[in-house]
Amino acid sequence: MATERTLTIIKPDAVAAGHVGDIIKMFEANRFAIVAARLVNLSKKEAEGFYAVHRGKPFFESLTKFMSSGRALVMVLEGENAIARLREVMGATNPAHAAPGTVRKLYATSIERNAVHGSDGPETAAFEIGYFFPDVEPV
Ligand code: ATP
Ligand code: MG
């Protein structure tokens, strides 16, 4: 197991609902260290650039509108096996399928408004960390 860095976003639904503190508490309880953080209000274009891999999918327009609808907290997290472990702590994309005790089971309200983002692999993590934190080393 190696120390990794991953990018997470506490999405506009969870920020608006006041879940930032509870979600950060879960990250810290799971031995993730916060190495960078920014509160952002993404433009539609910035959200489209971030989720470029999903361009053309039926949910792309609605997703990028949602992601640019309010404040979001973007963070780089570091820890052992951080990329895969964060995905476990987050739970399944669709909260209806998320395991008990995961962030999405607790705080997501739909498959779109699902409270958090986490990078899905090392290349994605490097792209996503660079997208928001050009001065932060991805590993
Ligand atoms: P994320 O990339 O945000 O961490 P994920 O990797 O679990 O989530 P992706 O397949 O990458 O899921 O989808 C990106 C985001 O797009 C999801 O988190 C969700 O907000 C939205 N999304 C995905 N599938 C759907 C869908 N079928 N309907 C509506 N929104 C969706
Ligand atoms: Mg994804």
Give per-residue pLDDT as tens, 89-136: 999 999 999 999 999 999 999 999 999 999 999 999 999 999 999 999
Is 117 among the residues known to form the active site? yes
Please write the tens of the pLDDT for every residue from 75-92.
999 999 999 999 999 999
Q: How many CB atoms lie within 10 A of CB 52?
A: 13
Phi, psi angle pair for 107, to nearest 5°: -125, -15
Q: How far is the CA of 93 from the centre of ligand 1 (A)?
A: 6
Q: Looking at the whole model, is its pTM more than 0.95?
A: yes
CATH match for 3-41+72-132 among 3.30.930.10, 3.30.70.141, 3.90.25.10, 3.30.70.890: 3.30.70.141
The pLDDT confidence band at residue 1, using thresholds 50, 70 and 90, is confident
Task: Indicate which residue's Cα is closest to atom 19 of ligand 1.
Answer: 112
Give me the residues paired with residue 73 across strands: 10, 39
- What is the number of alpha carbons within 13 Å of residue 129 lying toward its C-beta? 24
pLDDT given for residue 139 in this prediction: 86
Where do the structural domains in the chain lie, given as residue ranges? Answer: 3-41+72-132
12 lines ligand 1 (CB under 6 A): no
The position carrying tokens 């995905």 is 87
In this predicted structure, what is the pLDDT of residue 114?
Answer: 98
Question: Atom 1, ligand 1: which residue's CA is nearest?
Answer: 117
Ligand 1 pocket, mutate which of 53, 114, 120, 131 (most atoms under 8 A from CB): 114
